[in-house]
Amino acid sequence: MATLIAAQPVTQVAATDLVRDLDLTDDEVQCLLDLAGKVKRTPAKFARALAGKYLALLFEKPSLRTRLTFELSIKQLGGDSVVSEGPVDGREPLKDVARNLERWVQGIVARTFSQSTIEELAQWSSAPVINALSDLYHPCQALADVFTLRERFGELRGLKLAFVGDGNNVAHSLMLTALRLGVDFAISTPEGYAPNAEIVAQAEGLAAVSGARLQVTHDPAKAVAGASAVYTDVWTSMGKEKESAKRRKQFASHQVNGGLMALARHDAVFMHCLPAKRGEEVTDAVIESGQSIVFDQAENRLHAQKALLLMMLR
C-alpha cells in the first residue's frame, strides 16, 4: 500500500468528515475531480489503495446507486464494508453507535433522513463520516455531477447549470458546488418550494468570490434560457410521499420536456440524479434522448466516490 500511494500521490483533505459540501475546500474539490479522472482511466493502479480498510455503510433510506457505488468503490480499492439498514439510532443513542463503530471501522458512510443524524455521528466518531444523503445535502451526488459536466464540456467555468423542480437536498449541493467552481447556477421552483434560505445566502457568498451568477426564480423558462445543462429531480422526495398528489399539481409547470429543453443551448445536456418518475418531472422522450447523460452521472458516482475515499482515508 505504501509503495502504491508513493507512486500515486493523493491529496488528503483538511476536514475530518464530509458532513456538508463546504467541508471540502475549493482546492480539495478540484483535486477530487482530477483524481476521479485518474481513477476512472487507470483503475488497476488504485486496486490495493485501501487494503486493510473497512467501512460501515448506514442506510436509513432505500438506495441503488449510492449503496452499490460505495460498496463497489471500497471493494475495487481493496477494502471492504459492512451494511446496516434501518434507523441508525433505533435501539441506542447515536453517540453510542458512533463510538462503537469507530472501534471497528476506518470510516462511516451514512444515508439518513435527518442532517442532524450525520452531524451527531461526526461529533462522536473519530473515524471519518461521509454524508451519503440527508434531508439538506447530497454532496456525493454533486461531486459526481460536476465531474460529469467537466468530462462532457472540458471546462466548468462559464457553464450554466439550471435546476428545475423542488429546492431539495440535491439542489442545495449542486448550488454550492457549482457556484464555487465558477458555474452559473439557476434554479426555478414552484411558489413555496424554494431552496433553504440559509443555503442560498451561503451560495450568494460563493458566487461573489468565484464570479459565477446565481438566479433563483419561479419561472422555469427563465432558469433554462441559455443553460448548458438542465437538471431535475423527483417532485416528492423520500419521506414526503403523502404530499405526492398535491405536488403533482403544483409542479406541473416545472416538467422538463422537449419545449423546455429547446430554450437551453443547442448542445445542452439533460441531467437527473435518478430514480426518475418518467411522465412527471421529465418526459420519457427527454430522458431517452441524445441529450441525456443520466447514466454517465450514475457511472461517475463510482469514480468520484473512489476519489473521495482515497482523500479521506489517510
Looking at the predicted structure, is the pLDDT value of residue 289 above 90? yes
Same domain membership, residue 147 and residue 124: no
**Main-chain dihedrals φ then ψ at residue 161, nearest 5 degrees:** -105, 120
How many whole angstroms separate alpha carbon 44 and alpha carbon 35?
14
pLDDT for the residue 108 = 98
pLDDT given at position 240: 82
Q: What is the secondary structure of 82-130 as a DSSP string?
A: EEEES-TTSSS-HHHHHHHHHHH-SEEEEE-S-HHHHHHHHHH-SS-EE
pLDDT tens for each residue of 6-37: 335 677 776 689 999 999 999 999 999 999 99
Tell me: do 190 and 257 sit in the same domain.
Answer: yes
Cβ-defined contacts of 291-300 (< 8 Å, 24+): 291/261, 293/148, 293/152, 293/269, 294/270, 296/148, 296/151, 296/152, 297/144, 297/145, 297/148, 297/271, 297/272, 297/273, 298/65, 298/69, 298/274, 300/36, 300/40, 300/144, 300/145, 300/147, 300/148, 300/151
Tell me the torsion sign for CA atoms 160, 166, 170, 175. Answer: positive
* pLDDT given at position 272: 98
CA distance 241 to 260: 26
Q: Are residues 114 and 260 in the same domain?
A: no
**pLDDT for the residue numbered 5:** 37
Which of the residue ranges 89-93, 177-181, 286-290 would you say has the lowest mean pLDDT? 89-93
Q: Is the pLDDT of residue 282 over 70?
A: yes
Compute how many other C-beta atoms are within 10 angstroms of the C-beta atom of residue 259.
11
Residues belonging to the active site: 111, 138, 141, 233, 273, 301
Give the pLDDT confidence score for residue 9 in this predicted structure.
63
Q: Could you tell me if 67 and 86 lie in one domain?
A: yes
What pLDDT was estimated at residue 7?
A: 39
Per-residue pLDDT reduced to its tens digit, 225-279: 999 999 999 999 888 888 999 999 999 999 999 999 999 999 999 999 999 999 9
Residues 148, 117 share a domain: no
Q: Is 291 in the same domain as 306?
A: no
292 and 159 in a common domain? yes
Tens-place pLDDT, residues 24-75:
999 999 999 999 999 999 999 999 999 999 999 999 999 999 999 999 999 9
Residue 3, pLDDT > 70, answer no
Q: Name 292's bridge partners.
A: 270
Strands 229-232 and 160-164: parallel
Same domain? 109 vs 150: no
pLDDT reported for residue 32? 98
Find the mean pLDDT for residues 80-103.
Answer: 95
How many folded domains does the chain comprise? 2
On whether both 277 and 306 belong to a single domain, the answer is no
Are residues 221 and 260 in contact, defined by beta-carbon separation less than 8 angstroms? yes
Q: Are residues 181 and 128 in the same domain?
A: no
Tell me: pLDDT of 112 over 90. yes
- For the entire predicted model, the pTM comes to 0.95
* Type and span of the H or E element at 297: helix 294-312
Same structural domain, 145 and 293: yes
Contact 199, 136 (CB under 8 A): yes
Name the DSSP letter for residue 269: E
Tell me the CATH number at 211.
3.40.50.1370
Which comes out higher in pLDDT, residue 10 or 211?
A: 211
pLDDT at residue 241, as a whole number: 87
Averaged pLDDT for residues 283-295: 98
Contact 232, 256 (CB under 8 A): yes
Residue 14 has a pLDDT of: 64
Q: Using omega within 30 degrees of 0 as the cis cutoff, is the peptide bond preceding 87 cis?
A: no
Q: In which domain, by residue range, is 60 found?
A: 2-137+301-312
**Do 67 and 202 sit in the same domain of this protein?**
no
